[in-house]
Amino acid sequence: MPQIQIEDVSISYGSPDAKTTFKAVVGANLAIEPGEFVTIVGPSGCGKSTLLSAIAGLVPYDGRLTINGAAVTGPGPDRAIVFQDASLLPWRTVHGNVRFGLEMQRKPRKFIRERAEHFIEMVGLNAFARYYPGQLSGGMRQRVNIARALAADPQVLLMDEPFGALDAQTREIMGGELLRIWEAERKTAIFVTHDIEEAIFLADRVVVMGRNPGRIKDVIRIDLPRRRTVEMQEEPAFLDLKRRLRAYLAEDLA
């Protein structure tokens, strides 16, 4: 049975005066298996973040959206979000930030400390546990974000362009790191990006979204072997997928 089921989901935003509504996503259908890595690509404004927020339980939706068979009615400990770096608490150290989700779950102190240390080590920030976010590079801050989400022990990891603010090289390194961690933890992962290569490199399946109205256009299976390597990006199979996806996205821009 799929872990996440999205059936005919539409999401609208009300204007401040609550008189008009804007349909950001219409009629989305998608089923995601446990342990799967799904990426979502599409032009900006097509509703990627909106769909992810609905899965996170942060915005209301119409339709059916279930996780392990239960309807999503709000945030829950079964999901955790990796945000962009502006969502780290600037007054807490790396360790303090990673603890946050566990504190919200009212876990015992000792458990929180050990778990936080474990995930700080996993993302390679041991030496920086006492640093504040302001003292870290963008890539390091995203490691903190990933560690914070993982420490909360979710079944589903939701990521909204987590590497969007990083330079190309750091981005590539972080992608590899993310896969290493995901392979160790085997969480279900949903990853939003507007970078086609990143989408292919990470995914078991790529969800392609289009706009006007925001919707899911297609879902493409990526049959590249796991243990992805940077070199793979030069192989014909990868380049082929890239061409296909680019054509898809170009349709929307025309």
Partner 1 sequence: MTLRRSSWALGLVSFVGLLAIWQAAVSAGLIGAYYVSSPIAVGEAFVAMLREGTIQRHFTASAISFLIAFAIATSAGVALGMAAGMFRTVERTLDPFVWFLYSTPAIALYPLFVAWLGFGRPTSVATAVMFALTPIYANTLTGVKNVSPQLMRMAHSFGARPMDLFVRIALPASVPLIVGGMQLGVGRALAGVLVAELFGANAGLGFSIAYNAQYMRTTKMMVFILLVIVCGLVLTRAMAAVSAMSDRWRT
Partner 2 sequence: MRAPVRARSGRPAAHGLERWAGVIAVLVFLALWEILPRLGVVNEFFTSRPSLLAVAAVEVLASAQYWSDLALTMQEFAVGFGLAVVVAIPMGLLIGASPIARGIAMTPMMALYIAPSMILLPLLILWLGVGLASKIAVVFIASYFPIVINLLAGMDEIDGRLVRVGHVFGASRLQLFSTIHLPATMPHLLVGLRLAVGRGLLSVIAAEIFVSSAGIGYRIQMFGNSLRIDRLLVYALTVSIIGYTMSRVIGLLEERWGARSVS
Provide the binding-site residues for ligand ADP, judged by CB under 6 A. 13, 22, 24, 42, 44-50, 214
Could you tell me the smallest distance in angstroms from the CB atom of residue 73 to partner 2?
A: 6
Residues near partner 1 (CB under 8 A) are: 56-58, 75-77, 79-81, 83-84, 86-87, 89-91, 100-101, 103-105, 134, 152
Minimum gap (Å) between residue 48 Cβ and Mg ion: 5
Instruction: Select from partner 1, Mg ion, ligand ADP, none the partner in contact with residue 100, using the beta carbon and a kind-dependent cut-off of 5 to 8 Å.
Output: partner 1
CA distances from 210 to 60, 117, 150 (A): 21, 41, 30
Instruction: Give the separation between CA 181 and CA 25, rounded to whole angstroms.
Output: 31
86 binds, among ligand ADP, Mg ion, partner 1, none (CB under 5 to 8 A by kind): partner 1
Q: Which is nearer to partner 1, 103 or 114 (CB)?
A: 103
Q: What is the CA radius of gyration of the chain?
A: 18
Residues that bind Mg ion (CB under 5 A): 49
Helices and strands counted in the chain (H then E): 7, 10
What lies within 8 Å, CB to CB, of 172 at 6+ separation is 230
What is the H or E stretch that residue 139 is in? helix 138-151
Provide, rounded to whole angstroms, the least separation between the CB of residue 190 and ligand ADP. Answer: 13
Please identify, using beta-carbon distances, which residue of 57 and 101 lies nearer to ligand ADP. Answer: 57
Look at residues 200, 140, 132, 131 and name the one whose alpha carbon lies nearest to residue 170.
Answer: 140
> 153 or 172, CB closer to partner 1?
153
Q: Give me the least distance between CB of 60 and partner 2, in Å please.
A: 5
Residue 194 CB contacts under 8 Å (≥ 6 apart), including other chains: 41, 42, 43, 44, 48, 161, 164
**Which residues make beta-bridge pairs with 191?**
39, 159
- Structure token pair of residue 3: 């872990």
The binder of 221, among partner 2, ligand ADP, partner 1, none, by C-beta within 5 to 8 A per type, is none
Can you read off the two tokens belonging to residue 185?
């933890």
Q: How far is the CB of 157 from partner 1 (least distance, A)?
A: 12
Residues that bind partner 2 (CB under 8 A): 16, 18, 57-65, 71-74
In the complex with ligand ADP, the residue whose CB is nearer, 24 or 151, is: 24
